[in-house]
Amino acid sequence: MIKPHGSDELNPLFVYDSAENEALHHEAESLPSIVVSSATAANAVMMGAGYFNPLTGYMTKADALSVAREMKTASGLFWPTPVLNLVEDAGDIKAGDRIALRDPNVEENPVLAVMDVEAVEEFSDEEMAMMTQEIYRPAEGEDHIGATTFNSQGKVCLSGPIKVLNFSYFQSEFPDTFRTAVEIRNEIAERGWNKVVAFQTRNPMHLAHEELCHMAMDRLGCDGLVIHMLLGKLKKGDIPAPVRDAAIRKMVELYFPPNSAMVTGYGFDMLYAGPKEAVLHAVFRQNMGATHFIIGRDHAGVGDHYGAFDAQEIFEKEVPADALDIEIFKADHTAWSKKLNKVVMMCEAPDHEKDDFVLLSGTKVREMLVQGISPPKEFSRPEVAEILIQYYQSLDAA
C-alpha cells in the first residue's frame, strides 16, 4: 500500500487507549481551556484521524509563514496550507502551559483535545495579509468566503502538540459515513485493493460525476474507488450531508459492481482555497491510502474566483515532483454527448458545439427538483433525483 505522507507509518493523534483517553478527559477538567474556532476544531479532527500525517500539532508562526510562502515548514516538510490554532486573545495562556481545547460545534463545548503549548505568537497585519493572499488569492476588495473565515479567527497563534480525545460531531451524526484515514486504509487492505482512486465531493453526484469515476477507474486500471464526502461546514444553500450521503449510496448500490466503490466521509470545513486546497486534498488522500486522486474543473473553488484548471496546474507549476507519492487524474468537465449517446469529457469531443451536450445550470436543476421534476436521464439517475426531489419539497413544505 502507498506510504503516508512524511512517514513510513500513519501516526494519528487520536488517543485510542481507553484508559489514557479517560485520564486525559479527567485531567482536562482542571486545565485552562479555550473554545476554539470551527476551523481549529476541524484541524484537530483531521490530525486525530490521521489525515494530516505527519503533523503532531498546530504550527508555529514560522512554520505557517513558510508554508504560506513556499508550501513547506521551516524544517522542510512539504505542506500546502497552514494548520493553525488562531485566537483573538490568549489571555493568561503562555508557553509551557497544558490546556484543553473545547469544541465550538457541540452543545456545552466538550473537550476535543489536550494541547501542550510551545509558543504563543501574534501575526502582524502584514503577515495575515500575506498568508491570506498566498492561500486564497483574493482580488483586492473581494468578499472571499474562505479569506473572510480565515481572518475572523484572530491573529494570535497557539502552537504545539495535541492529543485528540474525540471526533467532534462527525462520528455521532454520521456513524455510517465518517471514517478516519486509519479506518479507510484498513478497509482498502481488507477489500484487497491495490490501485485506488479517490473522488472528492461536497455535492450529490449526477450522472457526469458517476461516469467520471468509471472513466478514471478504467483508464488507471484501479480496482477500487473511494468516494470521500466533506461532512463539515459548507456555504449557505449547499445540500446537507445526510441527503448527499443517501443519494450517493443509492447510485453506488445500483450502478457500481460489488466491491468496487466505498462511500465515506471526513470531518473538515471547506477552505474554498482552490489550488492550495486541492494540494491539501491530495495529501490527506495519500494518507488514507489512495494511489490516485481525481481533480476536475474548479476543484475546491467558490464562484468563478479561480481559473477552471488552476487546481490541476498547481501540481505542475508549484508542487515539487517528489513531494507526494499520490498521482493526479486530471479531468475536464463531463457531460452527456447527444452525438455519441454517452458521457464524455468535453475536451475529448473537439467536434462538438455547446448545444451538442446536455448542460444544465445548478440553478435550473434546483428549480426542477423543487417543482418535483426529475432532470433528464442524460443528466441525473432517476433514483438519485427522487431523493433530491424529496429533500427540496420537504424544504418547501416547511
Active site residues per annotation? 202-203
Distances (CA, A) of 315 to 277, 304, 364: 12, 20, 33
Nearest by Cα to 365 from 340, 342, 391, 345: 391
The residues pairing with 183 across neighbouring beta strands, listed in sequence order, are: none
**Cell matching residue 282:** 491530495
